[in-house]
Chains A and B, each alone.
Chain A
Amino acid sequence: MGVHMKKIELVCPAGNLPSLKAAIDNGADVVYTGFNDATNARNFEGLNFTHGELKEGISYAIRSGKKVYLAVNTFPQMDSYHQWRRSVDSAVGLGADALILAELGVLRYAREKYPDINIHLSVQASASNYESIDFYRRHFGIKRVVLPRVLTVEEMELLGERTDVETEVFALGGLCINIEGRCYLSSFVTGASTNTEGACSPSRFVQFANEGGHLRITLNGLLLNDLGPGEVSPYPTCCKGRYIRPDGEIAYAFEEPESLNILEMLPDVIGAGVDALKIEGRQRTKAYVGTVTRILRDAIDSYYRDPQRYIARDEWLAGTNATFEGSRPTLGCYLEK
């Protein structure tokens, strides 16, 4: 496994200015953001940036020699398109270093109007092979693709050998077990389109009810989980719910409560030629952002100092796993499907 000359880029999440500063102060190369509306895929109440806040955030990044990316990665419907164009215009006007886009019309608009900007293909576009990536490169000149979490590290490496487009992969944090940009579970239950509105399992549909020591969690009236004493659940979404299978077994039929943590596989991921590592969690606190950024920074630096002797330190694993809200660490499909 060769050591790559160019150091892997660390891309960290921020849902507000304090998180952005925490990421930069703790070793992020790049912070990724979104505007506080439906044009990004983490559209939660009280989260994300106004025009003025992004301006301040970009200034802070520039002063520290770091970069800011902005996601406009949802799927507009009907006559709401102007809002997505405005997000693109604002981000370019403020000098974001790259736009993270997913939707064909938005990609076309951004590329035609701004021939020189850096466009990254969002994970929401679910481009999981080099032919799809080449399609987006030919038509929109994408510089980078954020790979969907459906590839093993071996597949990432083979993909990377067949494209000049940079690749970015998720390293830490919450995990969509289903392919993003193509998941209608939340929409099926609530009627609010995750792809268009930018929020899965919006909080206005979630209810917690205490009944005789049990915690019943519903989404738009549909029971997602019934927790007994001592049981915990991460933020309730359909994929993290418990269901009854035909044989009567009650199970987390899609996934156990778990979060991605690739610290132990870091040399493999870097060795696969990946260009950037992304931390999930624009909806999380600045304490989370600061903690996981610092740990991944240390891990990356430690790897480059002496690749052969890299080892995931116990305190890194304990530190990251402690941020996972009761869910356990997983390698997702990075090792095997």
Chain B
Amino acid sequence: MKLTLGPVLFDWSRDELIRFYEEVAGMDIDRIYIGEVICAKKRSLEISDIEAIGTRLERAGKEVVVSSLAVVSNENELEMVRSISTLPFPVEANDMSVFNIIPTDSSIAGGQRGVIAGPHITTYNVPAVKFLQGIGVKRVIFPVELSKESVAYNILHTGIEAEVFAHGKVPLAFSWRCYTSRAYNLSKTRCQFHCRRYPDGMVLRTMDGEPVFTVNGTSILSASIYTLAGCIEDLREIGVSAVRVSPQYRDMARVVAVFRKRLDGEMGPIEAIEVLRETAGEGLCNGWYHAQAGKEYVGPELGALG
């Protein structure tokens, strides 16, 4: 089973990103997704920076994939999709436009690089997987709300190479509206890049104080950290071939080390959760995997096997 690092969802500065990927180059990760998923207005990295980071990571022995925007609503955003299609890396599609822009069929010119259906493509079931396989898609990252049973069913009946979102604030929604700008009485058009102030997003609490969501520009994530660190054996058994951890501003090396040890069988689930809990400011969740509400947490340390 491979350990992968998802794209950075937050707005970090160019220096921070370059430093981050320099550090990541030294981590024991198999595959790394780079590129911008959330907002076309972020300005930290030029396409040449993304290429340089990808090349640097490849030199460090990593497999590199570039992820597309999740919401593509105008020519400017289509240009971003076209620009990543010029990079020498496979592409993770997070919007259907990618499948129309980049050839997916390996038998035709330009189709050899590989296109992957990312977590924001709604691949819910066997016929959807089979359709995507039919156009040449080799790997699927299933929607985050699918339960263990649903993921297992899809893998069993299609043999698709499957990756799951396994750790981090989990993406819950996208909008045309920038919720961070809204907090400053600004529109997206008049954005003043306030996202930069929230390197792990802006946590929202309910009116009685319970942390529930994280505002991140035009996206909404969970406040708590979704983690399947306790379920690695389980994921392997149902045929999942890769687990994705999502970048966070602090403690990334610790999180990666825990997952590496879990995958290598050197750390048990209870110990892993103990360490990860220390790195999760607003707590843990993973209910979806267990066919419960996503915000719930089911863990081995609570007496229920993950």
A-B interaction: yes
Q: Which of A78, A105, A184, A196 contacts B131, CB < 8 Å?
A: A105
Q: Mark A224-257, 1 if CB is under 8 A from B, else 0.
A: 1110000000000011011111100111011100
B293 contacts A179, CB within 8 Å? no
Bound form: Cα–Cα A79–B135 in Å: 23
CB contacts under 8 Å to A, within B68-87, are 70-75, 77-78, 81
Q: Is A136 an interface residue (CB 8 A)?
A: yes
B294 contacts A187, CB within 8 Å? yes
A188 contacts B204, CB within 8 Å? no
Q: Mark A258-297, 1 if CB is under 8 A from B, else 0.
A: 0000000000000000000000000000000000000000
CB contacts under 8 Å to A, within B137-180, are 143-146, 149-150, 153, 170-179
Q: Is A331 an interface residue (CB 8 A)?
A: no
A188 contacts B128, CB within 8 Å? no
**Contact residues in B for A34 (Cβ distance below 8 Å):** none
Q: Which of A132, A150, A193 contacts B96, CB < 8 Å?
A: A132
A244 contacts B220, CB within 8 Å? no
A129 contacts B203, CB within 8 Å? no
CB contacts under 8 Å to A, within B112-151, are 120, 122-128, 130-132, 135, 143-146, 149-150
A246 contacts B202, CB within 8 Å? yes
CB contacts under 8 Å to A, within B31-72, are 70-72
Given contacts A75-B122, A150-B71, A195-B122, whether A190 and B189 have CB atoms under 8 Å apart is no
Give the interface centre of A149, A190, A246 by most chain B CB atoms within 10 Å. A246
Q: Which of B143, B171, B203, B208 contacts A246, CB < 8 Å?
A: B203
Bound form: Cα–Cα A106–B205 in Å: 38
A104 contacts B71, CB within 8 Å? no
Which of chain A's residues has its CB closest to B132's CB?
Answer: A104
**Contact residues in B for A62 (Cβ distance below 8 Å):** none
Given contacts A105-B125, A128-B72, whether A243 and B204 have CB atoms under 8 Å apart is yes
A104 contacts B131, CB within 8 Å? yes
A185 contacts B173, CB within 8 Å? yes
**Contact residues in A for B81 (Cβ distance below 8 Å):** 131
Q: Is B99 an interface residue (CB 8 A)?
A: yes
Bound form: Cα–Cα A247–B213 in Å: 15
Range of interface residues on A (Cβ < 8 Å): 35 or more
Q: Which of B101, B125, B126, B202 contacts A75, CB < 8 Å?
A: B125
Number of A-B residue pairs having CB atoms within 8 Å of each other in the complex: 207
Bound form: Cα–Cα A105–B132 in Å: 10
**Contact residues in B for A114 (Cβ distance below 8 Å):** none
B175 contacts A179, CB within 8 Å? yes
**Contact residues in A for B174 (Cβ distance below 8 Å):** 178-179, 182-183
Q: Is A220 an interface residue (CB 8 A)?
A: yes
Q: Which of B100, B206, B292 contacts A222, CB < 8 Å?
A: B206
Q: Which of A132, A189, A223 contacts B95, CB < 8 Å?
A: A132
Q: Which of A104, A135, A191 contacts B100, CB < 8 Å?
A: A135
Q: Which of B96, B150, B187 contacts A337, CB < 8 Å?
A: B187
A243 contacts B205, CB within 8 Å? yes
**Contact residues in B for A208 (Cβ distance below 8 Å):** none
Q: Is B1 an interface residue (CB 8 A)?
A: no
Q: Is B97 an interface residue (CB 8 A)?
A: yes
Q: Is A210 an interface residue (CB 8 A)?
A: no
Q: Which of A104, A188, A242, A250 contacts B127, CB < 8 Å?
A: A104
Q: Which of B70, B122, B145, B288 contacts A103, CB < 8 Å?
A: B122
Q: Which of A104, A188, A220, A225 contacts B172, CB < 8 Å?
A: A188
A135 contacts B99, CB within 8 Å? yes
CB contacts under 8 Å to B, within A67-119, are 75-79, 81, 102-106, 108-109
Which of chain A's residues has its CB closest to B188's CB?
Answer: A337
A244 contacts B206, CB within 8 Å? yes
Q: Is B210 an interface residue (CB 8 A)?
A: yes
**Contact residues in B for A125 (Cβ distance below 8 Å):** 96, 122
Q: Is B212 an interface residue (CB 8 A)?
A: yes
Question: A residues bordering B, Cβ < 8 Å?
Answer: 75-79, 81, 102-106, 108-109, 125-129, 131-132, 134-136, 138-139, 148-151, 155, 158, 177-179, 181-185, 187-191, 193, 195-196, 220, 222-226, 238-239, 241-246, 249-251, 253-255, 333, 336-337
Top 6 nearest A-B pairs (CB, nearest first) are A105-B127, A131-B97, A191-B293, A188-B294, A178-B173, A243-B204
- A to B CB contacts below 8 Å, 13 in the list: A103-B124, A105-B125, A134-B100, A135-B96, A184-B143, A190-B293, A191-B292, A243-B207, A243-B212, A244-B205, A245-B183, A245-B204, A253-B204
